[in-house]
Homo-oligomer: A and B are copies of this chain.
């Protein structure tokens, strides 16, 4: 950090830049690491906040921001030549905003860089630091809220029901399965490696789990795990998996559509064929986006923090050290390389 000519201080600022809009699967070469400088003092009258980024979150929805701008995207497209954006945990270095002061910890959208200047509009202050700070990128952040809202608000779960979770070892899936177990449901998850399947069964307490890559017939795999059918499907995958699920759903089943990661990198999305089941089985398919439930965040923390402290919830992170590892970690999501919630450590302070 050096003192600038105008009484400010500047720091070097490493950044992960999007080279150009991505089509198909993202590659590490779609990103570039550059170093620039950042002014750490705010101009008079600014209500922005300068933060030092500590942890960054790799989330599947980010794929939708890498493509060309589209009305369909969940959030606006990243800008080529600029740092990409994502959820992160940060410490306030300087604040012009009345709600934040130097030293505050917060989580919310920041640039993939060492320091960001943000206008905190959808940032949450971190009060409880008796849990690892990185958890606020996952279990205690957006993915945790996604699992909580999706399961309790969208799935309408009842004790004794059968619940299937795809991409079940990911940030959201591992929590949905554990919430469902806590409610007295029978829970099965799928994932893409033996290691992940072991995690589901042995660490997260799923009743059963399978490696979808080793199944010749996904519908048969589901029939084996759910001889009496599926009441609730927490959808993270889409495509062929959704077809297999539809043919195994029970009457009045519910499908909460959280994501469809198998489709995000395809130019033409796979067709889903078994949709007439929706009629006969009176199925409800409900898409949801966590942003609509952020008003329940403090209620969620009241519920989940005691669960962590009493070790009722297990949580597994896949940690990449250093911002330079960010592109590899982010791209790896779409190949299922992460085991548990994928985090990038920018600084441990």
List the one stretch of A170-178, A212-220, A266-274 in contact with chain B: A266-274
Q: With the chains together, A5 CA to B175 CA distance in Å?
A: 74
Contact at A269–B276, with CB atoms within 8 Å?
yes
CB distance from A217 to the nearest CB of B (A): 16
Whether A33 is near chain B, meaning CB under 8 Å from some CB there, is no
Contact at B274–A269, with CB atoms within 8 Å?
yes
Selected contact of A72 from candidates B260, B271, B280, B288, CB within 8 Å: B280
- Please, what's the 1-or-0 string for A162-202, where 1 marks a CB less than 8 Å from any CB in chain B? 00000000000000000000000000000000000000000
- Interface of chain A: mostly helix, strand, loop or mixed: loop
Chain B contacts for A259, CB-based, 8 A = 279
Of chain B, the residue at the smallest CB distance from A74 is B280
Q: With the chains together, A32 CA to B147 CA distance in Å?
A: 56
Most buried by B among A278, A282, A287: A287
Whether A292 is near chain B, meaning CB under 8 Å from some CB there, is yes
Count how many chain A residues have C-beta atoms less than 8 Å from C-beta atoms of the other chain: 35
Of chain B, the residue at the smallest CB distance from A260 is B276
Whether A238 is near chain B, meaning CB under 8 Å from some CB there, is yes
Contact at B269–A270, with CB atoms within 8 Å?
no
Whether A9 is near chain B, meaning CB under 8 Å from some CB there, is no
Whether A11 is near chain B, meaning CB under 8 Å from some CB there, is no
15 examples of A-B residue contacts, CB within 8 angstroms: A64-B280, A257-B275, A268-B273, A269-B273, A269-B275, A270-B271, A270-B273, A271-B271, A278-B285, A279-B289, A282-B286, A282-B287, A282-B289, A283-B285, A284-B286
Q: Which 3 A-B pairs have the closest CB atoms?
A: A271-B271, A278-B287, A285-B285
